[in-house]
Amino acid sequence: MSFTSPKPQVKQVEKRPGCIHAALKILGDKWSPLLVGQLVTEARTFGDLETQLAGISPRTLSSRLDSLQNQGIIIRKQYNRHPPRYTYELTEKGKSLTDILSSMAEWGEKYSD
């Protein structure tokens, strides 16, 4: 009779394949997680975001805002007609990313040099 030791249970990260990929479609570039992180506490204008995200070009910021809006993560609200001015804020779907971003921040704090 041979006895084999039971394999240790490994916690599976994904409940079904493709879940991480779906999250990376939203948070997988340099600026999107930082942008969402800026909107967790309050709505901000384009200028606010440009100031807070030092190094982002206006073109990249505009592109990321459009992408996040198309994915239902943020909403753009007009607050001035002439000239048109907007604020950006998180949708409920966007707010659900807060825990992920907090975990990323904790990990970064723990392992950053």
Question: What CATH code is carried by the domain that includes residue 65?
Answer: 1.10.10.10
The token pair that represents 82 in the structure block: 């002439």
CA distances from 4 to 1, 7, 30, 37 (A): 10, 9, 46, 48
Residue at 35 is within a domain: yes
Torsion angle (degrees, nearest 10) of CA 23, 29, 32, 35: 140
Residue at 2 is within a domain: no
Residue at 85 is within a domain: yes
Per-residue pLDDT tens digits for 35-82: 999 999 999 999 999 999 999 999 999 999 999 999 999 999 999 999
The whole-angstrom separation of Cα 15 and Cα 29 is: 23
Task: Look at the chain and report how many structural domains it folds into.
Answer: 1
Name residue 56's amino acid. Answer: I
79 secondary structure, DSSP code: E
| N residues, the chain | 113
Statement: residue 1 has pLDDT above 90: no
- Which pLDDT band holds residue 7 (cuts at 50, 70, 90)? low
- Tokens 């807060």 -> residue: 98
Q: What average pLDDT does range 79-92 have in this prediction?
A: 94
Residue at 71 is within a domain: yes
Residue (of 85, 87, 74) closest to 37 by Cα position: 74
Confidence at residue 113, expressed as pLDDT on a 0 to 100 scale? 79
Q: Count CB neighbours of 74 within 10 A.
A: 24
Residue at 11 is within a domain: no
Statement: residue 34 has pLDDT above 90: yes
Q: Which range of residues forms the domain containing residue 63?
A: 27-104
Residue at 87 is within a domain: yes
Confidence at residue 10, expressed as pLDDT on a 0 to 100 scale? 65
Confidence at residue 85, expressed as pLDDT on a 0 to 100 scale? 93
* CA 31 to centroid of chain Cα atoms: 8
113 secondary structure, DSSP code: -
Confidence at residue 14, expressed as pLDDT on a 0 to 100 scale? 85
- Which pLDDT band holds residue 15 (cuts at 50, 70, 90)? confident
Residue at 18 is within a domain: no
Residue at 91 is within a domain: yes
